């Protein structure tokens, strides 16, 4: 199914999620990175930013926890290729977690977020920054003016945590190792926003759906 509001069809989203899982499984079992499949849709060979998120089901507490999330925020490589690499990185190179083990694969849900190119929010006040952000639509990147510290949140993060815009930006500052309210200073920090189309398994290795926030 295709909507004029979407860059990718449901079928293309399913392909991306399946590709991410295949990439991670192959790497964990054989320590090999797969090649971009010959049957990859043409659109998925165009450059795009992307993130791959891994969530794992904890049976003892009956909840899903983040198990890894890494991506490429800027469109510097073909989308399919970026998905293959981001899936591996999320599984074995996320510094917040130990590497995923092959035994965990049956409990992991794979999610792929294809991104629009980030656009700087050019305003002159904290209020202008808040007004430029839409919860449930915009992901945000923050950087200090030296370019030495920065962080990113995907569009789904403030929705999942039920954050206000102020909490969204304060938490982003914390993630970047910056003072919590430094986002209010438009001369010290730089904000950019982007959008994402999210496709996720409904259960480990199960059906893939488009997530609407």
Tens digits of residue pLDDT in 156-213: 999 999 999 999 999 999 999 999 999 999 999 999 999 999 999 999 999 999 999 8
Distance CA 60, CA 174 (A): 30
Distance CA 109, CA 67 (A): 9
Are 158 and 207 in a shared domain? no
Better-predicted residue by pLDDT, 2 or 9: 9
Is the pTM for the entire model greater than 0.85? Answer: yes
* Structure confidence by residue, pLDDT tens digits, 97-116: 999 999 999 999 999 999 99
Q: What CATH code is carried by the domain that includes residue 98?
A: 3.30.700.20
Are 190 and 200 in a shared domain? no
Name 65's bridge partners.
56
Q: Is residue 167 part of a domain?
A: yes
Q: Is residue 175 part of a domain?
A: yes
Are 20 and 103 in a shared domain? yes
Give the count of domains, the chain.
Answer: 2
Name 189's bridge partners.
144
Are 144 and 205 in a shared domain? no
Distance CA 113, CA 198 (A): 4
3-state class (DSSP) for residue 81: helix
Element of type H or E holding 63 = strand 63-72
Predicted confidence at residue 4, as pLDDT, reads: 54
* Structure confidence by residue, pLDDT tens digits, 12-40: 999 999 999 999 999 999 999 999 999 99
Q: Is residue 206 part of a domain?
A: yes
Using CA of residue 113, residue 94, residue 18, residue 57, what is the dihedral sign? negative
3-state class (DSSP) for residue 52: strand
Q: Is residue 72 part of a domain?
A: yes
Are 109 and 130 in a shared domain? no
Please calculate the CA angle 167-72-168 and round it to the nearest 5 degrees.
Answer: 5
Are 72 and 148 in a shared domain? no
Q: Is residue 1 part of a domain?
A: no
Owning domain of residue 55:
10-116+195-211
């Amino acid at each position: 199914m295709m909507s004029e509001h979407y860059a990718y069809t449901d079928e293309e989203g399913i392909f991306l999620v399946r590709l991410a899982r295949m990439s991670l499984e192959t790497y964990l079992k054989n320590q090999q990175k797969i090649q971009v499949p010959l049957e990859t849709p043409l659109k998925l060979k165009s450059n795009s930013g992307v993130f791959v998120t891994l969530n794992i089901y904890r049976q003892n507490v009956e909840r899903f926890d983040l198990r890894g999330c890494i991506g490429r925020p800027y469109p510097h490589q073909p989308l399919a290729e970026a998905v293959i690499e981001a899936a591996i990185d999320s599984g074995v190179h996320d510094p917040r977690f130990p590497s995923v083990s092959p035994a965990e694969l049956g409990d992991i849900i794979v999610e792929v977020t294809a991104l629009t190119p980030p656009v700087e929010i050019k305003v002159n006040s904290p209020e202008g920054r808040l007004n430029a952000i839409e919860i449930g639509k915009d992901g945000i990147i923050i950087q200090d003016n030296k370019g030495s510290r920065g962080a990113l949140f995907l569009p789904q993060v403030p929705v999942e945590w039920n954050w206000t815009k102020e909490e969204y930006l304060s938490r982003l500052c914390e993630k970047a190792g910056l003072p919590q309210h430094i986002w209010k200073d438009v001369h010290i920090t730089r904000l950019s926003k982007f959008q994402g189309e999210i496709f996720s398994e409904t259960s480990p290795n199960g059906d893939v759906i488009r997530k609407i926030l």
